[in-house]
Amino acid sequence: MGASGHEMRGEARLSGAAWATLIAALLGWLFDGFEMGLFPVVAPAALGDMLGLAENPSRASEVAPLIGRITAAFLVGAAAGGVVFGWLGDRIGRVRSLSFSILTYSLFTGLGAFARTPFELGATRFVAALGMGGEWSLGVALIMECWPAKHRPLLAGVIGAAANAGLLLVAAIGRAFPVRPESWRWMFLVGALPALLVFFVRLAVPESQAWQRATKERKAAPLRELFAGGLARPALLALAFASIPLIGTWAVAQWAVPAWVERLTGGEQPGAKGEVAMLWAIGAVLGSLAAPIAGARIGRRPAYFALCVLSLASTSFLFLANDAYDATMRASAVMCGATTAAFYGWLPLYLPELFPTRVRATGQGLAFNLGRIFAAAGAIGGGELVRVFGNDYPRAGATMSSIYALGLVLIWFAPETRGRPLPE
């Protein structure tokens, strides 16, 4: 009876540790989403202030390319952070690395409030993105290693939903308190609050036992192992599967749509950008929850294929069937959010299943975050397309959305992992 009681107490402690890990990771992803959604809502007002558009409206054509470049800097920073912090997570542990990543993105987001030029704003966004990119891969590794396999599809959906809830939060704030050229800096100060989460992480979140066992048997050399033997092919496929939705999200949703809404409303509805972002995020939360459940039932590959088809259809409708900010466009935003952001529930389910424990954080961090470099190119390309097409945001957005067609083909070269345990 004593032994049995001891085991029960051990299971209770494990359960408490698992819940603490989940809470910390969910809060981290929530603030990740806030970080990602912050700049698109603030950008038109912030850059309008920095360029002095009120006194010199002829400089308005500079805004779209600057948004593209700063977005690209953010994405490149996230890519670098995913690799650096993922490598640290495999070398020194998930929890310590997670704390460093949260501090990085929160403190440098706060510093964005003091930027005086587009270059300074871009620099703070780049460094903040280092931490944001690292937090995703570390949190996913921790959750998937600490929770039983049967919960993985649901947890993957919650992971994606948490980040999109952060997007919803920043959009709701932007709608309730419209961001104007004279009042945008406070939003970046709000982004510094996640630094407080580090105290909870350090006090309550235990290190992954799976990581401790794996590194006790053999010291991790994650980068070398990823590009040797049989791991190179899944790493490259994972990179492709993450890149496609990232390009679609950042080249289309994260800056083209808010800027397009600003143009459609003529700047006379300051809350419209926040509203459309909020509607998009509502759809994204629902899609992120549904996608991994579909992946568990019909298979990882068919689910990804279906998401690509639905994303192509929804973005085409958004850009080709709307010419005013009205009820149809609002409904289109919800539909696009539900389809294009659903990949962020599918990816946390599938990517951990491709890599063994000792290289998991690096592998999925490399795949997911290097995809942001392609997304950065897409953001710059999208900005230039807008200029080439004479400020025709719908034409540029529809052109960039064609990236989902690539996923329809590539997914069939990947392994199907439904029903398999995480590789040790």
What is the pLDDT at residue 10? 39
Q: Characterize 190-203 residue by residue with b for buried, 16 or more Cβ atoms within 10 angstroms of its Cβ, and e for exposed.
A: bbbebbebbeebee
% of the chain exceeding 90 in pLDDT: 20
Identify which of 181, 321, 61, 377 has the alpha carbon closest to the alpha carbon of residue 330: 321
348 token code pair: 């946390």
pLDDT band at 229 (very low <50, low <70, confident <90, very high): low
What is the pLDDT at residue 12? 42
pLDDT digits (tens, 9 = 90+) for 134-162: 887 788 888 888 888 788 888 888 888 88
- What's the predicted TM-score (pTM) here? 0.75
DSSP labels for 211-252?
A: HHHHHHHS---HHHHHTSGGGHHHHHHHHHHHHHHHHHIIII
The predicted model gives 229-238 an average pLDDT of: 82
**Four-CA torsion 115, 116, 119, 123, nearest 10 degrees:** -10
Please report the sign of the dihedral spanned by the C-alpha atoms of residue 54, residue 58, residue 63, residue 69.
negative
pLDDT digits (tens, 9 = 90+) for 64-107: 788 878 988 888 888 888 888 888 888 888 888 988 999 998 99
Mean pLDDT of the chain: 83
pLDDT digits (tens, 9 = 90+) for 319-363: 888 888 888 989 998 999 999 989 989 998 898 888 888 788 788
Q: List Cβ neighbours of 263 (8 Å cut-off, separation of 6 or more).
A: 391, 393
Using CA atoms, how far apart are residues 396 and 107, in angstroms rounded to an integer? 34
Q: How many CA atoms lie less than 13 Å away from 181 in the CB half-sphere? A: 11
DSSP labels for 195-209?
A: GGHHHHHHHHPPPPH
Fold type of domain 16-413: Growth Hormone; Chain: A; (1.20.1250)
Length of the chain, in residues: 424
pLDDT band at 1 (very low <50, low <70, confident <90, very high): very low
93 token code pair: 């542990």
* Whether the Cβ atoms of residue 374 and residue 233 lie closer than 8 Å to each other: no
pLDDT digits (tens, 9 = 90+) for 238-271: 889 999 998 888 766 666 777 778 778 876 776 7
Which of residues 331 and 10 earns the better pLDDT score? Answer: 331
pLDDT band at 3 (very low <50, low <70, confident <90, very high): very low
Using CA atoms, how far apart are residues 300 and 237, in angstroms rounded to an integer? 13
What is the pLDDT at residue 11? 42
421 token code pair: 């345990």
- Burial grade of 350 (CB within 10 A; 0-12, 13-18, 19 or more): buried
pLDDT band at 413 (very low <50, low <70, confident <90, very high): very high
Domain limits, the chain: 16-413
Q: How many CA atoms lie less than 13 Å away from 265 in the CB half-sphere? A: 19
pLDDT band at 294 (very low <50, low <70, confident <90, very high): very high
